[in-house]
Structure formats: C-alpha cells, structure tokens
Amino acid sequence: MSIYMIRAKKIITVSHIGTIEDGAMVIQNEKIIEVGTWENIRKQYSSIQVIDYTNDVVTPSLVDCHTHLLEFAPTSLYPVTSDTHFLAGKAILLHALSTGITALGEQICGHPLGDFSIEDYRKAVHGIPLNVSFATTSISIGFEKIAHFTSITQSKAVHKKDLVDPFLVRQIAKESEYPGENIFINATPANFTKNEVPKAGELIYTIEEMQQIVDIYHGFGKKIGAHVAGIVGIEMALEVGVDVLHHAHSITDELIARASDQGVQIVATPMGGTHLTPNSPEEILKFIKAGIPVSISTDAYLPPYPEVPWLPYEDKLLKGPDQLMLIANPSMQVLKENNFDENAILALLTNNPATILGKHHQFGRLEKGLDANFIVAEGIPGLEITDIERIKKVYYQGKLVISRPFS
C-alpha cells in the first residue's frame, strides 16, 4: 500500500489550516502528500484506497521532548542486567508508542547502573518505529554528598570541577542532538525521596562557569537547555543565554517577561522534576500569554510531586509517558477556557516539542511534505481524552504501528 487516503470526522492539523471538519489526508511513501476536506481531496484522488475513520478525530501523534526512558527507567522498572537493559528499554519504548507518542527527547546523563556510551543508546533505538533525539548532559544529584555524572564518563562518578572542564564539556556538547537538560543548574532530587536528597535545589555553578559552558555550545552552533528551578537559578540561566529552560519551576512574572524578550523556549513539567512545586496550569497560561513557545513533557519515569492540586495521584509510584495526556489536561483545559484554538492547545504536545527537538520540518503537524505520523482517537489527545485506551490507532511514517481493534 504505497498510497492511501484516510477520512476522518475531523482533522486537527496544528498547521495554519487549523481544524478540518470531514477531512481527508493522502499518504504516500511515509509522507503526507495532501490534507484537506473530503469533498476536495476525493475528487483529486478518486481511485485510491480510503480508510474510514469518520467516527474519530485524527491529530498529529504526540512528542514527549524530555524523558529518561532508556538510561534510568530500565533498572527502575525491571530487574535487568547490562545484558537485558535495552530489552527493558525497548519494552518501555513500545509502551510509549502505544500511548500515541512517536517522538521522544531522551536525556543521557551518565548513571551508576548503566555503563553505556551514547553510541549504545543510538544503536538501541535503531529500527524502532519511534523518532528519538538524544541530549547528552551532565547531572548533579542532591545527595548529602552531591553526586555528579556525565554522559561521556558513563557510570563513573566525577567531581564538580570535571563538569566545567572545557575538554569534557566540548565532548558532551558535540554529542548533543538538541537542547535537553544539558546542564543541571540546581542539584536534582531525581527519583529519590526528600530525606535521601537533602541538597536537591542547591546551585552547582557560578555564573562565570555557566557562561563558559553556554559559550561552548553556542560555539558549536548548538542550542543549550538547562534543568533549572527557583528565581536565582532562572535569573542566571537567562543572564548567560541558555536557550531552553526545562522545568523553570517557581519562575516569576518578571522572569517570564524576560524569557519572552530573549526568545527562550520552556519545557514545562507539571508532574515534577525539581525540588520545587511543578508548573501549574495558570503558570503555563502565563507563558503562552507572554508569547513563549511551551512544550509539556513528562520527564518520565518520575514519582509525582506530592500534594499538587492539578495532579490526580495518591501514590508515589513512578509515572511514565502514558501520563502525558493526563498531566497536560488541566493546562489544556485552562487554555480552552481562555479561548485558545484547539490547534494552538494541541501544539503543546506536538509542534512545540517537535520544535525543541529541531524536527518541526519533519513532524509535529499534519501538513503536506511532513512525515505521516498521526493518531486516530475518540477525541483530541490531552484536551478531550486522557485515557490511552481511547487512542485507537497510531501511525508512524505512514505505517500502522499500534491498533486497538476492539476499543
């Protein structure tokens, strides 16, 4: 089937065309070659096969641009060894795919339980129907004695001075494919409980050290992203020219205005990820009103931040990318109440994270020439539906890769 057409109740394109009622889309050789109304498209392509989705909504598939699925998650979720680590990784990726996600932004930070190189991670995703971009990073974990790792030094802990060693920073920067959390401005609580990580939140770098790191990335013509939370850390990040703020928990109105002026993008993580209260729906609304391109991401696998009113969780179990729609829903609802168009709202899970990954010319919208990565669902993902069982089909580069025939 090298060419076919789908017909849907409506198509949310997330492009300038917006929503198309009774829409049709033509797919040929992995790409979208036409999108429009059924009435117009069927005339042009009268003889090709039509797949009928007239009871359902078709949207771009989802993009989770900040995850830790291949490095931290396998040993957290499965009793694996180094020989079975990537088998668990593949199971985790398949699960993500089944939730409508076809692109991921993975962080490779260095981890005591995984002595793998960035090449090993790249090899592990080869042949999987998912587009994975890797951000190589260093990480500082807020134990009583803060532990530092890097993607280049792998499972071996390093010293703080190594994190600012230009030779090592250059190696990390060279391997990074997009601005993920390349540096941790504050020590992270990671997946640990509060008493295990008393130093979570502590600032790791001086402003001079940060400037030197940012200049190395920019010298390679690359953007840099940072894990950051709290006023002082965010101020420093903006001062030295960090391009993407991950989390930005506890940001102020003044710093939001400054981020907007500097053209900084934000990856919001409403489930957690730092020592401070995660991004609220009201905060995400402020970002968007300030004109900042916002992506919502899971930072999975992660235990949810305790006692946050917009999160439904009553346990501390690790949550995965299957929670993306659920954690985005309160913010998407607030945007709808503020009269934002459904295409602009869905962009938070599609086009905006695709832009963070630098792949918005390849996917994130349903538009002529882009990859045919789309989902067939009972409603708009994240806005109208949050249950993964209501994602009926997932297509990746024109191929049906997930199907829930009886739902």
Positions that interact with Zn ion (CB under 5 A): 299
* Of the candidates 224, 315, 302, the residue with the CA atom closest to the CA atom of residue 269: 302
Exposed / middle / buried, residue 80 (Cβ in 10 Å: 0-12, 13-18, 19+): middle
> Mapping DSSP to helix (H, G, I), strand (E, B) and coil, where does residue 51 land?
strand
Find the shortest distance in angstroms from Cβ 129 to Zn ion.
Answer: 24
Find the shortest distance in angstroms from Cβ 213 to Zn ion.
Answer: 18
Find the shortest distance in angstroms from Cβ 319 to Zn ion.
Answer: 13
How far is 395 from 241, CA to CA, in rounded Å? Answer: 38
DSSP conformation letters of 256-294: HHHHHHTT-EEEE-TT--SSS----HHHHHHHHHTT--E
Phi and psi angles of residue 174, each rounded to the nearest 5 degrees, phi first: -60, -40
Decide whether 161 or 316 has the Cβ nearer to Zn ion: 316
Whether 391 and 56 have beta carbons less than 8 Å apart is answered as no
Decide whether 7 or 111 has the Cβ nearer to Zn ion: 111
Decide whether 36 or 272 has the Cβ nearer to Zn ion: 272
Report the DSSP beta bridge partners of residue 247. 228
Pull the structure tokens for residue 308: 């946050």
Pull the structure tokens for residue 72: 């931290």
Q: Calculate ∠ Cα 345-323-359, nearest 5°.
A: 55
CA-to-CA separations, 103 to 3, 92, 141, 206, 375, in angstroms, rounded: 23, 13, 27, 34, 13
CA-to-CA separations, 99 to 66, 125, 379, in angstroms, rounded: 16, 18, 14
Exposed / middle / buried, residue 82 (Cβ in 10 Å: 0-12, 13-18, 19+): middle
Decide whether 68 or 199 has the Cβ nearer to Zn ion: 68
Find the shortest distance in angstroms from Cβ 139 to Zn ion.
Answer: 9
DSSP conformation letters of 172-221: HHHH--S-SS-EESB-B-TT--GGG-TTTT-B---HHHHHHHHHHHHHTT
Find the shortest distance in angstroms from Cβ 186 to Zn ion.
Answer: 12
Decide whether 8 or 135 has the Cβ nearer to Zn ion: 135
Per DSSP, 319 falls in state: B
Find the shortest distance in angstroms from Cβ 315 to Zn ion.
Answer: 20
Decide whether 291 or 306 has the Cβ nearer to Zn ion: 306
Kindly report the number of other CB atoms within 10 A of residue 254's CB atom.
Answer: 10
* Of the candidates 14, 98, 43, the residue with the CA atom closest to the CA atom of residue 26: 43
Find the shortest distance in angstroms from Cβ 98 to Zn ion.
Answer: 22
- In the complex, which residue's CB is closest to Zn ion? 299
Find the shortest distance in angstroms from Cβ 246 to Zn ion.
Answer: 7
Decide whether 72 or 313 has the Cβ nearer to Zn ion: 72
Decide whether 10 or 199 has the Cβ nearer to Zn ion: 199
Find the shortest distance in angstroms from Cβ 274 to Zn ion.
Answer: 9
Decide whether 183 or 332 has the Cβ nearer to Zn ion: 183
How far is 133 from 396, CA to CA, in rounded Å? Answer: 16
Exposed / middle / buried, residue 337 (Cβ in 10 Å: 0-12, 13-18, 19+): exposed
Find the shortest distance in angstroms from Cβ 247 to Zn ion.
Answer: 8
Decide whether 27 or 108 has the Cβ nearer to Zn ion: 108
Find the shortest distance in angstroms from Cβ 30 to Zn ion.
Answer: 31
Decide whether 30 or 322 has the Cβ nearer to Zn ion: 322
